[in-house]
């Protein structure tokens, strides 16, 4: 069994070397021999993470494209399919994390109208209710003026009370850049809120 495995390692290494020297048939063999296994692996990851929204076929195609570009790094210490699975796993994880970040931002955006309302309780007076609704609508429209990063900055700093140093690390930006963006975002939000809120007075 071990002898057979070693032979396969050697055979695949030789195929990779031939492909590197322009042998198209060698690459096509590696491609067709690996494709279905990578497809099954990608789908198993999607099932495990309940991520049916991820395009597994696209992940596999992109992985094989990267394999072709990185062929020169294949050492033959593992089977070609095992090596290729590493590309599938990395691409899948990137897509999964990106989707999770988008969901978190969307969830914060949906809650923002309640967090930024100064009036969590009103007397039941129709005028109080009207004022609260006007304020909430102005807040919602003001957030629509912001881009994704600006939304994230305002929610983390003002709602979740995160320090700017922690937010800078999350965004992978310098503290000075984050601080500047935060103050510009607050200014933009205030200007938009002023415009939208006072529209109700017209």
Q: What is the pLDDT of residues 160-175, one digit of tens each?
A: 888 888 888 888 888 8
CA distance 13 to 105: 45
Place of tokens 């789908």: 43
Q: What is the chain's mean pLDDT, rounded? A: 81
Q: CA 175, 162, 148 angle in degrees (round to 5)?
A: 75
Considering the entire predicted model, what is its pTM?
0.52
Best-predicted range by mean pLDDT (39-53, 125-139, 167-181) = 39-53
Indicate whether 89 pLDDT > 90. Answer: yes
Across the range 134-159, mean pLDDT stands at 81
Across the range 29-41, mean pLDDT stands at 93
At 101 the pLDDT is 75
Convert the pLDDT of each residue in 106-137 to its tens digit: 655 555 444 444 444 444 555 555 666 777 77
- Which CATH entry fits the domain spanning 2-98: 1.20.140.10, 1.10.1740.10, 1.20.810.10, 1.20.1250.20? 1.10.1740.10
Question: Backbone phi, then psi, for 119, in 5-degree steps?
Answer: -115, 95
Q: Are 48 and 106 in contact (CB under 8 A)?
A: no
- Torsion over CA of 191, 148, 139 and 155, rounded to 10 degrees? -100
CA distance 178 to 183: 9
CATH no. of 116-199: 1.10.10
Indicate whether 60 pLDDT > 90. Answer: yes
At 140 the pLDDT is 79
Q: Is 122 left (phi over 0), alpha (psi -120 to 50) or beta?
A: beta
Domain spans in the chain, listed from the N-terminal domain onward: 2-98, 116-199
Indicate whether 59 pLDDT > 80. Answer: yes
């Amino acid at each position: 069994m071990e002898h057979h495995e070693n032979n396969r390692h050697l055979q695949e290494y030789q195929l990779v070397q031939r492909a590197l020297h322009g042998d198209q048939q060698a690459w096509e063999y590696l491609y067709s021999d690996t494709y279905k296994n990578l497809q099954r692996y990608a789908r198993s990851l999607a099932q495990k993470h309940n991520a049916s929204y991820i395009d597994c076929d696209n992940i596999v195609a992109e992985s094989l494209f990267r394999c072709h570009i990185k062929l020169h790094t294949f050492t033959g210490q593992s089977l070609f399919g095992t090596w290729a699975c590493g590309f599938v796993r990395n691409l899948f994880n990137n897509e999964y994390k990106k989707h999770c970040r988008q969901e978190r931002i969307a969830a914060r955006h949906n809650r923002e109208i309640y967090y930024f309302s100064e009036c969590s309780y009103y007397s039941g007076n129709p005028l109080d209710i009207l004022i609260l609704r006007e304020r909430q609508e102005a807040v919602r429209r003001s957030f629509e003026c912001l881009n994704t990063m600006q939304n994230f900055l305002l929610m983390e700093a003002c709602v979740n009370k995160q320090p700017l140093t922690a937010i800078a690390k999350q965004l992978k930006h310098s503290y000075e850049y984050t601080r500047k963006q935060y103050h510009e975002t607050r200014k933009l939000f205030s200007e938009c809120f002023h415009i939208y809120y006072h529209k109700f007075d017209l």
